[in-house]
Structure 1
C-alpha cells in the first residue's frame, strides 16, 4: 500500500474506547458527585435517555388517570364510572408509582442506608404518602383521592430530571468532544517500508506512522519526515494552524494540514497528552470547592427543615380543620416544594460549565480550588525568561579576554551542549553557524541559580552569572558587561580554573502578549511582579518596558519562593506564573501556581493551572473566568435558597385565608422550575 492509498479499516481500538469511556464516566461521576452529591447512586446511574423514556410512558398512563380521578369530577362535575373503574385507576397509578417513581424510591433507599437523607428522600416521602393515602381513600373510606396529583407529580419530577441531565451533559460537551478526537486506526510504516492500516491499540512507542493530509494525528509523536501545518484548536484553544517540520512534536487528536508526514510515536493511550488533559479536567470537576461544600451543607439542613415543616403543617391543618385529606395535601406539598434539588445543582452545574470553558480556551485546571482562588489574587508574579520574554535567545556580543572568539565559543558550546536551556541552545547554535568542531565535556553539572561547571581538555570551567562574580571576584571590571545588561541583555561569563577568560551577551525579545498581559492586570486592579535569576539591570530594563510594579532580580529558586512568602505575609495574595524547574518552589508557595504550557514537567506537576497555549495573556482569562464562576455560583445559591425560603411557607398554606393554596402538582412545577432556572443560568455563563 502506498502513501496516497486510503484506509478502509473500520477497527475500533482499546485506547480510543478507553479515552471515550473516560469522558463518559467523568460526566456520570461529575453528576453523581456534584449534581446530587447527597442523592442515591442508583438515581445517578440513570442517564437522561432513561428519564425521557420513563417520563413519556408515565405521561401516557396519566391521561386515563385524569378522566378517572376525583380531580376531574371536582373540576367538570362529570363522573366517569363503570365496573372496575376504581381498580383500573389503582392499577394505572400503581404502575406510575413504581415505574415512574422508581429512580426516586431507589435513591431514597440509598440515602437511608448511608444515613444521608436528602432530596430523593423528600420526593419519595411525598409520593409514598400520596399513594398510600389515595389507596386508603379509594378502598376503605370516602373522600377525594390524590392519584391525579401523584401521577402529575411523578411526571413533572421525571421531566425536571430529564432536562437537568441534558444540562449536565451539555456542560460536559467540550470534554466529550476531546474524548472523540482520536481516529479509529493508524497507517503503520512496517520494517519493509510498507504501509499497513492497524487498530490504534496496536501502535507502540517508537513505531513510525503515516499521517495523510486532513487526517487526525493518531498518537503523540515527533515528525521524522515532511513538514506541514497542524490545527491544535480543540486541544490548546489556539485557532490558527501551527507550522511543523522534522523534529517538531505533534499531539494526538490534532488535525494535519495539506501535507503528508511521517511521525515517530512517543506516547500512546493513558500516557498521551489528550488522555492526560481529559484526566485533568475530570479530576478538577470532581474536586469540591468551598462554595460547593457550603451548598451541600445547606441542602442537608433543608431536608430536616422540610421534614419538620411537613410534620408541623400536617399537625396544624388537622388541628384546625379535622380534615385528614387537606392536612395530607398540605404536608405533601411542603415536602415536594422544599426538595433541595436546585440547591444541590446550583454549584456543580456552574463548575461543570467553567471547567469546560477553561478546557476550550487552553486552560487546564489541575486543582479546582485554584479556579475559585484566582479572583482573590492581588499580585501576579511572573518568571522572566520564557514567560514574559520569548525564550528564544540570540547571541549578540562576544568578548574574549584571552584567546579568540572562536575558542571562547567552542568551550561555551562544549559545556552548554549538554543543557536544554534556551541560552544554551543559542550558544550551541552560534558554534554550529561558525562550523566549529565540538569538544567533549566531562562531569558537567548545573549550579543552582548560577550556571554550570565541567571539564574540557583537563581544565575545569564554569559558566556563571553577574551575581556570582560580584560575590566571588569583586575586583573585576564589569563596566562593559553591565552596559550590555543595561540594554536588557543576559550576560554569561566563562571561568577557567576560576579565572575569567571572556563572556557573551544574549538578547531575548519581550513577548508582545506580555505587554498586553501587564496592561490587562492593571485594568483589573491587580499588580504585576517579576521574579528572575537574571541581573538587576536586565530585570529593571524588562520591567520598565512592561510597566511591572515590583521587580525582584538575581534570585535563586528558593529566593523566589521566599519572596512570594514575604509578600503574602504583607497580606498580598500572590499568583505565580512560570515555566522552568527553578520556578517549582515558587509555584508551590503561591496561592495559585500557573505553568506556561511549553515548560518543564516539574513545573507542570507543581502548578495548579497549566496554560497550554504558552501565552501569559491567558492569566487574564483565568482571573475573569474565576470571577464569573463565583458570580454564577452566588446567583444560583441565592435563587435556590431564596426560592425555598419563600416557597415553604406558601406551600404550608400561610396565605390560605386569602384563598391562595398550592396543590402538590403546582408545588412540583415550582420545584422543577427552580431547578431548570438554575441549570439554564449555569449554561448562560460566558467569559470574554
Structure 2
C-alpha cells in the first residue's frame, strides 16, 4: 500500500542541494517518487513497503541535510485504562512521519514527536479518532489548565453515580434485603409477589445500564467490535451477562435448566453504581494531582496598570507589549517580566522559586510575572510577555514533565497491551471449567465466576500508577522551586551514583569578594580599606570591584588618587592623601623593597585556603595583607554533607588552578576534584566520572556547562544561570541555591518509591484477586466472590493508586547537612 509523506528539510540553498536530497530519497527501496520544493524547503515522497519516514530522514541526513522535528500536543477523551493508552500510542506511532508518542492517562493528553511537515495536528487527532477515542489539538504555546475540564468530568461522574445509586438501592433491597432483615422476603412474596419483584428489578436495572451506565457501552462496545477491548468493554460484558441471564430467568425461565432460574439484576446494577463511584473519586483525586498547573496559571494577574501616552490605564495583561511601563502598587502581583525603572520594594518570589524570604528589589533589578509586591510602589519596563515570559515557561516545563513517560513504564506497557484480552480469555476459561466441573446449579455458578473475573480485573490501576505519581511529584517539585523539564529525569536522578558540580557560580557566588584583611600593629583597618578602594577605583580588574564593594559596605569612602599606575602582572600604585600606596602581590613588594616578612605566614595560610593574597604598603612600609576569593555559597557544605548521607559521591569540575580547587574541595568535603579543565574538556571529565562511578548528575550554570549538562544522565541548571544552560538541563533550580540538588534527589527517590508502590499494588491486586474471582478457593472450602464485591474491589483499586500518589503533595522539604 502506497503512502505519502512531506518532510521539512533544513540546509538546502540551491538546485544542487534539492537534487542531492531527491536522489538520496529516490535511492531507498520502495520509493516511487521524491520531489523537493526548494522555496518551501520540503521533500514530498511516495513509497511502499521497505521504507518509512524515518528511513527517509536518515537518507536526507546522510546526504548532509537535516529533517526538522516538532512536537504536537493532543487532548484525548474516552481513555479509561492502560489498554487505551497503549492503543492510542500504537496508532500514533504507526502514522508516517511520527517518531514517537507519549500518552498520559492521568491528564488525558498525548505528546506526539514527528518530522516537521509530516502531519498536521488535525490529521493526528483523526488518527486517534480512528482508534476509537475523541481527540483534538492543543495549543502548544498557551499554558494548559485542565482544572475546568476535570471539574466538568467530576461533576458528570458524580451526577451519573447519584442517579445510579437512587435506582440501584430499591433493586438491592428487593434482592438482598432478606439477608439483612428477616421476614423481608416473606413480605415481598405476600404483597407484590415474586414475578412483580423481578419485573421491578428488571425495569430499574435496565434504566441503570441505559442511562448512567451508558458510558460503559458507548465506549466499550465499539472497542469490542474493533477487537480491541478496554476497561469499558469488561464492565459492559460483565453487567450485560448478569442482566441478560436475569432477563431470561424472569421472562422465559423454561429456557434455563431446572433450578438455575436465579436473577442477578442487583449484581448488574451494583456493578455499574460502584464503578461510577470509583470513577467519581478517581476524577476528584486526579484533579488534585494536576493542581500544580492550576496554581501556577492562577499566579498571573488579569490586568495591569500601564502608562500609555502619559496616562496610567488598566489593561488586560494579554495586551501588554515589550517596552510598556507598568505601575505596581503595594500587594499587587507582577503582571509580566520586566526591569524596575523606579521605586524600591520587597518582592515575594516563593511561589516560583521556593525561597521563603522576600527579595529587596530596586532600580535595574529584574521582576518576574506572578510574584507578589510588598509594601513599596514600583514601576517597571516590560521585557518579556506571552510564551517567552518566565511564568509561561515554567508552566510549559511542568506540563511537559507531567506528560512524560518514565523508562519504568515500558514494562507496564508490554503487560497492559495484552491485559484486557487475557482477562476476557480467563473469563471464558473460568466459565468453561465451572460448566464442566462445577456443582449444581452449574450455570449459575459458572456465570457468577465469569462475571466476577471480568469485573474485578483493573487495568485502570496499572495505567494510573506511573503518570499520576509523575504529575503529583513534578507538581510538588515546582512548589519547591525544582522544575523537572522532562518527566524521565525523575527516574534518572534517583539512579545517580555521583553528583558533579561546576565551581564558579554554582558552589561559589561567581564573583570575587574581600574575605580577609589583616593589618600590622598600630594600623587601622578602615584606613587601609579606604586607601585600597581609592587606588582600585580607577581599575576594571575583578579584584578592584571586590575591594570597592567591601569599602562601600563598611563605609570607608575612597579618597582622591594621584599618579595612578597599573604595574602589569604585579598590582597598582598611586598617591592617596599624600602617601604613596602600593597594592599587589609579593613580587610587587619585593621589587619595591617592601619587607613582607611580618605577614608572610598569614598570606601563605590564606593561599592554602584557596584565596588570593595581596599586600598593601604605605610609603614603602607594609601595612596589611588582604585576601580576595570567590566565596562559597551559604549552604554548600551542608549540601555536600546531605549528598554523602544519601550515599552519593561528589565531584567538582573546574577550570581553576589545582591548589585553589583542592582548597575549596577540602572546605566543602568534596570527594574528587577535576581541575584546570578547559570548557571543551568538561564533557571528557563527565565521561570519565561516569566510567568510574556510574550514572551521573551534573550541576552547572554557564554557557560552557551546556555540553556537560547534555552529556550527564541528569543535567541540573542553576536557575540564576544562562538561558542556554537552563534549556539544556533536565532539571532547573529556580532559586539559584545549590541546596536544591539534595531536595531534588530526595524528591526523585520518593517519587520512584511511590511509583513502585503503585505498580506493586496494581499488579499484585490483579494477580491475587483474578484467580479468587475465578473461584480458585471454592474447591478448598473457600468462598465464591460476588460480582458486587468484585466491582467494589475494582473501583477501590484505582482510587487507592491515585490516593497513594497524592501523598507526594506533602513530600519535602527535607533537612540538610548530617541530620536525618
SS at match of 2:104: helix
Change (3 A) 1:83 1:396: closer
Q: CA deviation at 1:374?
A: 1.2
Separation (CA, whole Å) in 2 of partners of 1:491 and 1:131: 89
Change (3 A) 1:622 1:424: farther
Change (3 A) 1:324 1:52: same
Q: Deviations over 1:291-319 (max 9, x none)?
A: 22322333333323321210011111122
Gap regions ≥5 residues in structure 2: 1-72, 86-102, 111-130, 136-148, 255-260, 517-531, 553-557, 562-599, 615-625, 815-820
Q: Deviations over 1:640-681 (max 9, x none)?
A: 111212111211112224251111101111122222222222
Aligned to 2:375: 258
Change (3 A) 1:67 1:527: closer
Aligned to 1:294: 411
Change (3 A) 1:329 1:41: same
CA contact (8 A) 1:40 1:120 kept: no
- Structure ID, larger Rg: 2
1:229-244 equivalence runs, <5 A: 229-244=346-361
Q: Are residue 561 (structure 1) and residue 679 (structure 2) matched?
A: no
Separation (CA, whole Å) in 2 of partners of 1:137 and 1:30: 32
Aligned to 2:783: 660
Aligned to 2:296: 178
1:443-454 equivalence runs, <5 A: none
SS at match of 2:211: helix
- Which stretch of structure 1 is more off in the superposition, 55-64 or 73-82? 73-82
CA contact (8 A) 1:409 1:431 kept: no
Separation (CA, whole Å) in 2 of partners of 1:64 and 1:431: 86
Q: CA deviation at 1:246?
A: 0.8
CA contact (8 A) 1:24 1:176 kept: no
CA contact (8 A) 2:701 2:722 kept: yes
SS at match of 1:368: coil
CA contact (8 A) 1:40 1:109 kept: no
1:3-14 equivalence runs, <5 A: none
Separation (CA, whole Å) in 2 of partners of 1:592 and 1:230: 31
Separation (CA, whole Å) in 1 of partners of 2:727 and 2:560: 39
Change (3 A) 1:650 1:120: same
Change (3 A) 1:141 1:338: same
Q: CA deviation at 1:518?
A: 0.8
- Which stretch of structure 1 is more off in the superposition, 280-289 or 76-85? 76-85
Q: Are residue 66 (structure 1) and residue 188 (structure 2) matched?
A: no
Q: CA deviation at 1:556?
A: 1.2
CA contact (8 A) 2:537 2:544 kept: no
1:274-285 equivalence runs, <5 A: 274-285=391-402
Change (3 A) 1:74 1:485: closer
Separation (CA, whole Å) in 1 of partners of 2:221 and 2:655: 61
Q: CA deviation at 1:393?
A: 2.2
Q: Are residue 617 (structure 1) and residue 742 (structure 2) matched?
A: no
CA contact (8 A) 2:716 2:733 kept: yes
Residue in structure 1 matching 2:750, options 625, 628, 632: 628
CA contact (8 A) 2:79 2:133 kept: no
Aligned to 1:681: 804
Q: CA deviation at 1:93?
A: 1.9
Aligned to 1:204: 321
Separation (CA, whole Å) in 1 of partners of 2:369 and 2:720: 16
1:219-238 equivalence runs, <5 A: 219-238=336-355
Separation (CA, whole Å) in 2 of partners of 1:574 and 1:30: 37
SS at match of 2:304: strand
Q: CA deviation at 1:381?
A: 0.6
Aligned to 1:12: none
CA contact (8 A) 1:214 1:258 kept: yes
Question: What TM-score do the two structures reach when normalised by structure 2?
Answer: 0.67
CA contact (8 A) 1:412 1:427 kept: no
Q: Deviations over 1:425-448 (max 9, x none)?
A: 769989998999xxxxxxxxxxxx
- Which stretch of structure 1 is more off in the superposition, 206-215 or 427-436? 427-436
Q: Are residue 35 (structure 1) and residue 94 (structure 2) matched?
A: no
Separation (CA, whole Å) in 2 of partners of 1:406 and 1:153: 82
Separation (CA, whole Å) in 1 of partners of 2:721 and 2:289: 30
Separation (CA, whole Å) in 1 of partners of 2:534 and 2:657: 26
- Which stretch of structure 1 is more off in the superposition, 296-305 or 74-83? 74-83
SS at match of 1:100: coil
Q: Are residue 188 (structure 1) and residue 300 (structure 2) matched?
A: no
Separation (CA, whole Å) in 2 of partners of 1:24 and 1:277: 20
SS at match of 2:334: coil
Aligned to 1:545: 667
Separation (CA, whole Å) in 1 of partners of 2:515 and 2:173: 91
Aligned to 1:120: 232
Q: Are residue 509 (structure 1) and residue 631 (structure 2) matched?
A: yes
Separation (CA, whole Å) in 2 of partners of 1:96 and 1:344: 27
- Which stretch of structure 1 is more off in the superposition, 96-105 or 311-320? 96-105
SS at match of 1:290: coil
Q: CA deviation at 1:288?
A: 0.5
Separation (CA, whole Å) in 1 of partners of 2:78 and 2:648: 38
Change (3 A) 1:619 1:114: farther
1:421-436 equivalence runs, <5 A: none
Aligned to 2:643: 521
Separation (CA, whole Å) in 2 of partners of 1:27 and 1:220: 35
CA contact (8 A) 2:76 2:134 kept: no
Gap regions ≥5 residues in structure 1: 1-22, 398-404, 417-421, 437-478, 493-503
Change (3 A) 1:612 1:256: same
SS at match of 1:287: coil
Separation (CA, whole Å) in 2 of partners of 1:550 and 1:394: 25
Change (3 A) 1:250 1:27: farther
Separation (CA, whole Å) in 2 of partners of 1:383 and 1:175: 31
Residue in structure 2 matching 1:326, options 445, 448, 451: 445
Separation (CA, whole Å) in 1 of partners of 2:227 and 2:745: 39
Aligned to 2:250: 138
Change (3 A) 1:220 1:434: farther
Separation (CA, whole Å) in 2 of partners of 1:232 and 1:114: 52
SS at match of 2:299: coil
Residue in structure 2 matching 1:607, options 729, 735, 743: 729
Change (3 A) 1:298 1:290: same
Separation (CA, whole Å) in 2 of partners of 1:335 and 1:195: 66
Separation (CA, whole Å) in 2 of partners of 1:631 and 1:149: 37
CA contact (8 A) 1:27 1:169 kept: no
Q: Are residue 365 (structure 1) and residue 484 (structure 2) matched?
A: yes
Q: CA deviation at 1:59?
A: 0.6
Separation (CA, whole Å) in 2 of partners of 1:108 and 1:384: 58
Change (3 A) 1:263 1:115: farther
Residue in structure 2 matching 1:309, options 397, 404, 426: 426
Residue in structure 1 matching 2:219, options 87, 107, 123: 107
Separation (CA, whole Å) in 1 of partners of 2:510 and 2:630: 6
SS at match of 1:555: coil
Separation (CA, whole Å) in 1 of partners of 2:719 and 2:511: 15
Q: Deviations over 1:261-300 (max 9, x none)?
A: 1111111222211111111111011111122232233333
Q: CA deviation at 1:558?
A: 1.7
Q: Are residue 55 (structure 1) and residue 173 (structure 2) matched?
A: no
CA contact (8 A) 2:403 2:471 kept: no
Aligned to 1:475: none
Q: CA deviation at 1:152?
A: 0.7
Separation (CA, whole Å) in 2 of partners of 1:116 and 1:435: 86
Aligned to 1:343: 462
Change (3 A) 1:609 1:482: farther
Change (3 A) 1:659 1:549: closer
CA contact (8 A) 2:514 2:628 kept: yes
Separation (CA, whole Å) in 2 of partners of 1:168 and 1:40: 23
Q: Are residue 148 (structure 1) and residue 148 (structure 2) matched?
A: no
Separation (CA, whole Å) in 2 of partners of 1:505 and 1:301: 69
